[in-house]
Structure 1
Amino acid sequence: MPRLILLWLLALLPPLAGAQAPFEDSMAQRMQACTLCHGKEGRAAPDGYYPRIAGKPAGYLYQQLLAFRDGRRHYGPMRELLAPLSDAYLQEIAQHFAQLELPYAAAQPAALPAQDLARGQALVRQGDASRGLPACSACHGEALLGAQARIPGLLGLPRDYLNGQLGAWRAGQRRAAAPDCMAEIAKRLHPEEINAISHWLAGQTVPVGAKPAPSPPKPAPMRCGGLP
């Protein structure tokens, strides 16, 4: 196991009974291992790939931690870090980050022509019924901030991360419980549309005090196995 991953893993694990803790025994202290990649307090890293995890719905975070640990999402360092952790401890991690109320980073300036951004906005807000594509807002909410307990927000995320995840669903590298609605949607999108959606979303300012909605929009446009 690479030395850096081993150090992260030791930081994540709860202290052994009877051992002298070398630091304050708190989730905030232990979760500093996560912020090495996900940025200060989980607010997203400046490299544009690691996502914001602070303030995401706890149910969503928990499902993603399970997915990395159990192989439905593929990223070696995450799987190594989470492999020895129990479901209960993953729940604690999810609850810790979900309850953080922190400012969002500034929007990323758009780097596409206006007509491409308009296409991205149209897909986010209206979808394309002729191709069976629901609007992103139909599940992620009109404010695009997600909903309790398992729907993530789409704002405040780096465009490279958004591009990467939609591409992973499209290529079958990321999976959710069947029926995998996001995989179906991503496979109906053209690569240039994924790029337009990612650029438009990353260019939106997140309002101060933004939080996920208390419940998902109804009715849902598609069946999704990852939702209760």
Structure 2
Amino acid sequence: MGTLTAWARAWRRGLAAAGLCLLTTAHAAPPPARPFEDTLAQRLQACTVCHGAEGRAAPDGYYPRIAGKPAGYLYHQLLNFREGRRHYRLMVQMVDPLDDAYLWTIAEHFAGLNLPYPPPTAVRQTPAERARGERLARQGDAALGVPACIQCHGARLTGRQPHVPGLLGLPRDYLTAQVGAWRTGLRRAHAPDCMHTIAERLGPEDVAAVAGWLASQPLPADTRPDTPGGPLPMACGPLRTPATAAAGGGR
């Protein structure tokens, strides 16, 4: 009983201290307002709510990292949202009022960020699934007419300038969802839409295998996209040059 009484006294003292703290806080002067800095980084904080601080991928598995991606790639994805080739309401609402020049400015900002990647997340795969995923990434599948990921996305899979994104450092769920979006037409590009063709040729087991393998790979010391290489292994639709946007061209 003595122990219970002592516990009750301590609990009451805790409540009294908490009440005093609340009263003190309520009467304390509010902190001074921080001055608003009208900078590009300040305006683009809306992007980091989903994509993570300074453009790193968020940990929930559904938003990609945009820091360090090629500017041409980021620019065309913003165009795709604005022009109806990609469909995500929040992104569409954010970019719809913006002209080409401002989209290019946003793309250049995030492309210029060189930030460390977190370590990859462990992905549970069988040895056969891992082997299949690596084979698709490094060698492709001639019987399916699917080129290797490295042929477009760079030998180190960190992307290729100026328009091809890296595939490492992305969550498995995001990679799987994007292949599904290419397959169903929810995500599109200018014809010929090479990623749609590849997605149609891959079965669900192949998608799971290559997405799991990619998501589990560590990144090289230099994570920057490769310089432009030779021709792509498949015909892909033309991309609008950002030169008109950089010069202040309209939509």
TM-score greater than 0.5 by the shorter chain: yes
**Is the 2:76–2:239 Cα contact (8 Å) retained in structure 1?**
no
Q: 2:162 and 2:48 mapped to 1: Cα distance?
A: 23
Confirm whether residue 78 of structure 1 aligns to residue 88 of structure 2: no
SS at match of 2:160: coil
Q: Is the 8 A contact 1:107 1:205 kept in 2?
A: yes
Out of 53, 61, 75, the residue aligned to residue 74 of structure 2 is 61
Which residue is 1:223 aligned to?
Answer: 235
Cα distance, 1:165 vs. partner? 0.3
- Report if the CA contact (8 A) 1:126-1:135 is conserved: yes
- State whether residues 180 and 226 of structure 1, in contact with CA within 8 Å, keep that contact through their aligned partners in structure 2: no
Give, as a single letter, the amino acid of the residue that structure 2 aligns with 1:198: A
- Kindly indicate whether the alpha-carbon contact (under 8 Å) linking 1:42 and 1:52 is maintained by their aligned counterparts in 2: yes
Question: Highest Rg: 1 or 2?
Answer: 2
2:172 to 139, 159, 172: 159
Which secondary structure state, in structure 2, belongs to the residue aligned with residue 131 of structure 1?
A: coil
| 2:148 aligned partner | 135
Cα distance, 1:116–1:103 mapped onto 2, change above 3 Å: same
Aligned-residue CA RMSD in angstroms?
1.2
Instruction: Supply the AA of the counterpart residue of 2:96.
Output: A
Are positions 1:51 and 2:75 aligned together? no
Contact 1:68/1:75 (<8 A) preserved? yes
2: CA distance, partners of 1:64 / 1:219: 21
Deviations 1:121-174 (A, max 9, x none): 101110111121111111111101111110100111111110000010011111
Match of 1:90 among 103, 109, 122: 103
In structure 1, C-alpha distance between the alignment counterparts of 2:131 and 2:45, rounded to whole Å: 39
C-alpha deviation, 1:208, in angstroms: 3.0
Q: Report the equivalent of 1:3.
A: none
Runs of 4+ displaced beyond 6 Å: none
Offset at 1:109? 0.3
The partner residue of 2:125 within 112, 128, 149 is 112
Distance 2:221 2:116 in 1: 7
The one-letter code matched in structure 1 to 2:200 is K
Distance 1:77 1:37 in 2: 10
Task: State the 1:209 CA deviation.
Answer: 3.2
Contact 1:55 1:97 in 2 (8 A): yes
Does the residue aligned with 2:159 lie in a helix, a strand or coil? coil
What is the CA-CA distance between 1:23 and the residue it aligns to?
1.5
Report the number of matched residues: 206
**What amino acid is aligned across from residue 230 of structure 2 in structure 1?**
K
Is this contact kept in 1: 2:69–2:111, CA < 8 A?
A: yes
Query: Does the 8 Å contact 2:69/2:225 carry over to 1?
Result: yes
Q: Is the 8 Å Cα contact of residues 156 and 220 (structure 2) preserved in structure 1?
A: no
Distance 1:172 1:155 in 2: 24
One-letter code of the match for 1:149? Answer: P
Give distance in 1, aligned partners of 2:118 and 2:125.
Answer: 20
Matching residue of 1:18: none
TM-superposition CA deviations, 1:59-89 (whole Å, max 9, x none): 0000000001111001111001111111110
Deviation (angstroms), 1:207? 2.1
In the alignment, structure 1 segments of 5+ residues that lack a partner are 1-21
* 1:224 partner amino acid: C
197, 211, 220: which is aligned to 2:210?
A: 197
CA distances 1:39-75 after superposition (whole Å, capped 9, x unpaired): 0111100101100000000000000000011110011
